[in-house]
Amino acid sequence: MTSATRMTNCRVAVLALAAIAIGPQSQTRAVAGQQLTPNSVPVQVRLAEAMAENQDWDEAIREPDRGLSYAEDLYENGIPDYALQEYAKVLCDVYTTKGQGNPHRAYARYRMGVCAYELGRPEAAARQWRRLVVEAPESPWSGQAGRALSVLSADGLGVVSSGTAPALPDDLSSSPVSRLALAEQLLDCGLPLIASKEYLKVIHVVTAGRPNPLQAEATYKLGICHQRLGRLKLAKTAWQQTVGRFPDSPSAEQARSALTRADELGDVLAAPRDPWEVIRR
């Protein structure tokens, strides 16, 4: 079997697991207040129950369920990058009302891995699945993640990295904390452009322009996003802002190091353009 054939078979196997997990659209809508499992009750049953109880359907489904439903729609319509963002919002309690539980974190993290794989980032997918196995070993989605990791490891096609995705903070009830956690997940999944939007929200939006203790880290990480997008000038601007606005923060020290490396890289890229001069050296 050729390497290309093995890679094709691996992709088919992983996406088959994804198909088993997501199933038909009618099977994947979240049930309010219920942990999603691979055999979750169809949403039509929950709707019928709500109607029988004279409940308003909008009230019968909670905000995390809405976010999950939107993520499923995006994935089913071939938009895995934005689907990943919505699953990450569910994971990080962006849709969760303060004081309410979130039963969908394990499922959301599993689906983030599926989206990352669909986007051609198997190492990011593996990191999400490894984190899921560590964080929620009793969840049925942990078992699904283990099977997906086994498929990735088959036929010598295992991913190189053995790391895990970022862990979630213990308390996500603060908007700056949940948004920063969301940005971290997106950046780890290889979506720096979408992550940069969330870092900007931490800096400018979530506290309505008032200072918050996460702005220094968010500004530094915004520079990382620009760097990964090849926008070195914007990256340096963000790091300079980190140093200027938050000079005594740990992020400022990281930004100073990043600026030094960026300057060194600039010197290398500005090396003589005459190939004969390079050869003579």
The token duo for 119 is 């986007």
Nearest residue to 130 via CA among 102, 159, 103, 162: 162
The token duo for 51 is 């109607």
The token duo for 200 is 């900007």
Q: Over its length of 281 residues, how does the chain's per-residue pLDDT go in tens digits?
A: 555 555 555 555 565 555 545 443 333 443 333 444 444 444 444 444 444 455 444 444 456 788 899 999 999 999 999 999 999 999 999 999 888 889 999 999 999 999 999 999 999 999 999 999 999 999 999 999 999 999 888 655 555 567 999 999 999 999 999 999 999 999 999 999 999 999 999 999 998 878 999 999 999 999 999 999 999 999 999 999 999 999 999 999 999 999 999 988 766 665 566 666 655 55
pLDDT of residue 229: 97
pLDDT of residue 4: 55
The residues, any chain, with a CB within 8 Å of residue 278's CB and separated by 6 or more, are: 271, 272
211 near 205, Cβ under 8 Å?
A: no
Q: Which domains does the chain have, with CATH numbers?
A: 3-156 (1.25.40.10), 175-269 (1.25.40.10)
Residue 215: alpha-carbon gap to chain centroid: 20
Measured CA angle at 115 (ends 201, 33), to 5 deg = 75
C-alpha to C-alpha distance for 153 and 150, rounded to whole angstroms: 5
The token duo for 40 is 């979750």
C-alpha to C-alpha distance for 231 and 98, rounded to whole angstroms: 37
Amino acid at 70: Y
Kindly report the pTM of this predicted structure: 0.78
C-alpha to C-alpha distance for 232 and 192, rounded to whole angstroms: 14
Residue 17: HSE in the Cβ half-sphere, 13 Å Cα cutoff: 25
C-alpha to C-alpha distance for 222 and 118, rounded to whole angstroms: 25
